[in-house]
């Protein structure tokens, strides 16, 4: 169950990322519309590449195991970086080419789904939290009743009995 919630959360974060990149393209288009000079979005995004940003090279040791692990980690990080850069370029170009779509509604829906997923992930904590709050209130009520009982005993007799 926890793994499923984490996967939903990760998927929603990716959707939020993609919708945000599309909004960036729409914002560039709106800025061009306001200023009157138009950007060639293809030239703008073609200048941004993973090779310009800086591919990662990791070396964690000289043993054969360390070299294999370094290769796996390096290729994995480069894959994630390359995918993120290309997704940003894709989203920006799509948002620029299609400014008529209202992507802010999608971002709002994704945020609501993200909050609902976080609440669902935190739901196993709800029952113990309610039990602790109930115990605290029951203890406070019994303490107040005990204090009221002691005060009534003092008022009836005029003085309090000693118990030792």
CA-to-CA dists, residue 27 to 85, 91, 93, 128, angstroms: 18, 12, 11, 46
pLDDT tens, residue by residue, 48-72: 888 888 777 777 778 888 888 888 8
Q: For residue 76, tell me if it sits in a domain.
A: yes
Is pLDDT at 141 greater than 90 in this prediction? Answer: yes
Which pLDDT belongs to residue 137?
Answer: 94
Q: For residue 32, tell me if it sits in a domain.
A: yes
Torsion 91-96-97-100 (CA) sign: positive
Q: For residue 88, tell me if it sits in a domain.
A: yes
Tell me the residue range of the domain where 23 lies.
Answer: 2-125
Q: For residue 157, tell me if it sits in a domain.
A: no
Q: For residue 164, tell me if it sits in a domain.
A: no
Query: Does the reported pTM lie above 0.85?
Result: no
Q: For residue 77, tell me if it sits in a domain.
A: yes
CA–CA separation, 44 and 141 (whole Å): 68
Query: For the chain, how many structural domains are there in total?
Result: 1
Q: For residue 153, tell me if it sits in a domain.
A: no
Which pLDDT belongs to residue 18?
Answer: 82
Torsion 20-87-44-54 (CA) sign: positive
Q: For residue 155, tell me if it sits in a domain.
A: no
């Amino acid at each position: 169950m926890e793994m499923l919630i984490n996967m939903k959360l990760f998927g929603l974060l990716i959707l939020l990322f993609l919708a945000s990149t599309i909004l960036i393209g729409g914002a560039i288009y709106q800025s061009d519309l306001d200023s009157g000079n138009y950007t060639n979005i293809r030239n703008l995004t073609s200048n941004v590449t993973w090779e310009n940003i800086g591919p990662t090279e990791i070396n964690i040791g000289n043993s054969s195991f360390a070299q294999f692990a370094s290769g796996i980690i390096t290729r994995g990080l480069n894959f994630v970086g390359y995918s993120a850069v290309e997704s940003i370029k894709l989203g920006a170009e799509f948002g620029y080419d299609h400014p008529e779509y209202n992507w802010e509604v999608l971002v709002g829906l994704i945020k609501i789904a993200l909050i609902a997923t976080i609440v669902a992930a935190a739901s196993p904590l709800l029952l113990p939290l309610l039990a602790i709050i109930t115990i605290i209130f029951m203890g406070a009520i019994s303490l107040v009743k005990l204090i009221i009982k002691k005060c009534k005993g003092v008022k009836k007799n005029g003085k309090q009995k000693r118990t030792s």
